[in-house]
Amino acid sequence: MAEKTVDQYLEGLEPWQADIARELRTILQKAAPGAKESFKWAQPVYESNGPFAYIKAFKNAVNFGFWRGVDLRDPKGVLQGSGEKMRHIKLSQLADIDAELFSELIRQAIELNSKKGDPTKRA
């Protein structure tokens, strides 16, 4: 069976989920033009020196997550989660998207990976 693509993932979403995910994808592509986009762990994943962000649709929200979320400066307090490293933003409508803030979080996440290496690898 062929590996699923991000486009196929988006096609399988509810229209409102796909709208949010496509907008996040556009923001990611603009803020991180050199990042690799792939479909891993059942979700779109964005990598630069390892994974830094992902998009995951759930029944009532689309999560925009960051591998090193606990280390990101979050002036608006949008990041949620209780794990040791990862954090996410829950989005239920297009109006929840703050392109300027999300672009800044993306840039921070890439910078952390460039300094600290792949977050999925043990030091």
Q: How many domains does the chain have?
A: 1
Residues 51-87 as b/e (b if ≥16 CB within 10 A, e otherwise) read bbbbbbbeeebbbbbbbbbebbebeeebbebeeeebb
Residue 123 lies in a domain: no
Residue 121, in any domain of the structure = no
> Which CATH number belongs to the domain containing residue 89 in this structure?
3.90.1150.200
Q: CA-to-CA distance for 111 and 102, rounded, in angstroms? A: 14
Write down the pTM of the prediction. 0.95
Is residue 1 situated within a structural domain? no
Quick one: pLDDT at residue 15? Answer: 98
List the pLDDT tens digit at each of the 123 positions of the chain.
557 899 999 999 999 999 999 999 999 999 999 999 999 999 999 999 999 999 999 999 999 999 999 999 999 999 999 999 999 999 999 999 999 999 999 999 999 999 999 999 965
Q: Which residues pair with 38 in a beta bridge?
A: 45
Is 122 part of any domain?
no
Contacts (Cβ under 8 Å, ≥6 apart) of 88: 56, 63, 64, 65, 66, 69, 79, 80, 81
Tell whether 43 is covered by a domain: yes
The pLDDT of residue 117: 95
Domain that includes residue 45, residue range: 6-114
Predicted local confidence at residue 2, as pLDDT: 58
